[in-house]
Structure 1
Amino acid sequence: MGAAIGAMLGSAVGVAISPLPLIAMVLLLATPRGRADGLAFCAGWLLSLTLVGTVMLLIGAGEDADEGSAPATWVSWLTLVLGVLFAFLAVGQWKARPRPGRPARTPGWMAGLDRTTPARAAGLGALLSGANPKNLALTVGAAAGIAGATSQPGARAVALVLFVLIGSLCVLVPLGVYLAGGKKAAATLEGWKDWMATHNAAIMTTVLAVLAAKYVGDALANL
C-alpha cells in the first residue's frame, strides 16, 4: 500500500495546488448563497475527480500495469510522455505570465459567479476537476502509478481515496475556513484569493516543472 500511496502523492499535490478552483471557491462563498454554492462546487469537484480517477485506475488495472515488483513498460512510457507534457505546459505557463507592472487577468468566466446557482456551481466544480487538462493528465499519471505499484484491489482503492482527498484540498480548505468562521473568515479568504491570483503563473510554472522532473525521472529509472 505504501508504494501505491507514494506513486500518486506527487500527482495529488499537483492537483491540490491549483489557484483557479481556490479563487472560484472564494468568489462563490462571497455570494448571497455562499454556503449552498460552495458545498455544491465542492461536491461537483469531488465527484468528478473520483469518477475520472476510478475510470483511469480500472483501465490501468485491466492492462497488467505491474510486472512483479516493477511497473509495466507501458506505464513507464506513459509516465515519460506525461512528464514531457508537463514540461511543455510549464514553459507555456511561464510565457503567458503577466509582465511586470501589469495586473494578472482573471478568467472571464469568473465574472458571473455572483449570479450562479448551486447546480451551476456543481457543474463548474466538475469541469475544473475532471475536465481540466492538467488535472486529467495528473489523474492519468496517478492511476498508472497506483496500478503499477500494486495489484491488490484494497491498496489501490485506499490510494485512490487519498488521491482524491489530497487533490481536493484546494476546495476543501477554503470551504472549511468559511464554514468554521462564517463572515469573519471573509478577509482571510479574500487575502488567499488575491495572493493566488497575483502569483498564479509562478505557482503553476513551479508545480508543473517539479512534476515534469519527477515523472521523467521515475520513467527513466524504470525503463
Structure 2
Amino acid sequence: MILDLILIGLAITLEPVPITAFILVLSARKGLRAGLAFVLAWLACLVGVMAAVLLSTGGSPPALHSTPSTASIAVKLTIGVGLIVFGEYRRRRAGRPHRDPAWLAKLNDVSPWTAAGLAVLLQPWALVAAGAATVVQAKVSSFESYLALVLFCLLSSASLLAMELHVAFSPESAGVRLARLRTWLTNHQDQAIVVLSLLLGLWLVGRSIAQLVQ
C-alpha cells in the first residue's frame, strides 16, 4: 500500500494544471488568503475520501477474489489504462501551440471562496480514486498505517503547501520564482503530463494485473 500511495501522491502533487492555477491564485490581490482556502479545500477533499473509504471498509480489506476486492482492483486497472491512453494522446499532440483556458485569466481577483471551489474542481479525481482503491485493499489498523494515510494527504498537497509557505514568509522572492515556474510549466506542460500519465498508468496496470492473477 505504502509504495502505491507514494507514487499516486507524487503524481497528484506534480499535476501541472492545478499548480498553474494555484500560482495565479497566489498572484491575486488577496492571494495569500485565497491560496490558504485553496489548500484547505484540496486537503479536505483528500481527507474526506480517505475517511469515507475507512468508514466503508472498517479498516479491513475485503476477502481476496471477492466482489469488492475484484471491483477495487478493476477500478485501479481502468484508471491505469485511462492514464496510458491519455498520456499517449497528449504525447501525439505535444508541440502543438495551445492557449491557457479563458478562466485562468479571471483568477487575478479571485476570492477565498472561489479559490476553495476551484481546488475541488481541479482535484485530479481519477488519481484520488486510485488512491482510494488502494486503501480499500489495505488493512488499516495500526498507527503506522494511519500515519501512511496522513502522509499521503500531505504528499499530495506538498507542492501547494510549499508555495503557500514560500509566499507567506518570502513574498518578493516567491513572486519571482513562481513566475519562473509558471513559465516553465507553460513550456513543458505536455511533457510533464505525458511522463506522469504514462509512468503511473503503467504502474497501476501492472500492479492490478498482478493482483488479479495471484
The normalised TM-score by structure 1 is 0.83
Q: Secondary structure at the match of 2:24?
A: helix
Of the candidates 3, 6, 11, which is equivalent to residue 6 of structure 1? 3
Q: Are 1:22 and 1:174, in contact at CA under 8 Å, matched by a contact in 2?
A: no
Q: Which moved more, 1:147-156 or 1:166-175?
A: 147-156
Corresponding residue of 2:49: 52
Shift of 1:87: 1.1
User: Counterpart in 2 of 1:218?
Assistant: 207
Q: What code does the residue aligned with 2:160 have?
A: V
- Asked if residue 107 in structure 1 is aligned to residue 96 in structure 2, the reply is no
Shift of 1:27: 1.2
d(CA) in 1 for partners of 2:146, 2:140: 11
1:137 pairs with one of 126, 129, 140: 126
Instruction: Verify the 8 A CA contact 1:94 1:205 in the aligned structure 2.
Output: yes
Aligned to 1:39: 36
Give me the TM-score of the superposition, normalised by structure 2: 0.86
**Distance of 1:198 and 1:62 partners within structure 2:** 43
Q: Please, which of 72, 76, 80 is the counterpart of residue 75 of structure 1?
A: 72
Is the Cα contact below 8 Å between 2:25 and 2:35 reproduced in 1? yes
Counterpart secondary structure, 1:146: helix
Could you report, residue by residue, the CA deviation over 1:66-90 in whole angstroms, capped at 9, with x for unpaired residues? 549xx94433333222211111121
Corresponding position of 1:116? 110
The counterpart of 1:161, out of the listed 143, 150, 155, is: 150
Alpha-carbon separation, structure 1, partners of 2:101 and 2:92: 17
Query: For the Cα contact (< 8 Å) 1:53–1:143, is it kept in 2?
Result: yes
Amino acid at match of 1:164: C
Shift of 1:148: 1.4
Structure 2 contact 140–146 (Cα < 8 Å) conserved = no
1:54-75 CA-partner distances (Å, limit 9, x unpaired): 324544558843549xx94433
160-169 or 143-152: bigger deviation: 143-152
Change in 2 beyond 3 A, CA 1:61/1:13:
farther
- SS at 2:91 equivalent: helix
SS at match of 2:28: coil
One-letter amino acid of the counterpart of residue 83, structure 1? G
In the alignment, structure 2 segments of 5+ residues that lack a partner are none
1:121/1:48 CA distance change after superposition, 3 Å: same
Q: Equivalences for 1:186-205 in 2 at 5 Å?
A: 186-205=175-194
Show structure 1 runs of 5+ residues with no match: 130-134
Aligned residues: 210
Distance of 1:108 and 1:153 partners within structure 2? 47
Separation in structure 2 between the aligned mates of residue 86 and residue 61 of structure 1, nearest angstrom: 29
| CA separation of 1:173 and 1:111: change in aligned 2, threshold 3 A | same
Structure 2 SS opposite 1:199: helix
User: Bigger shift: 204-213 or 179-188?
Assistant: 179-188
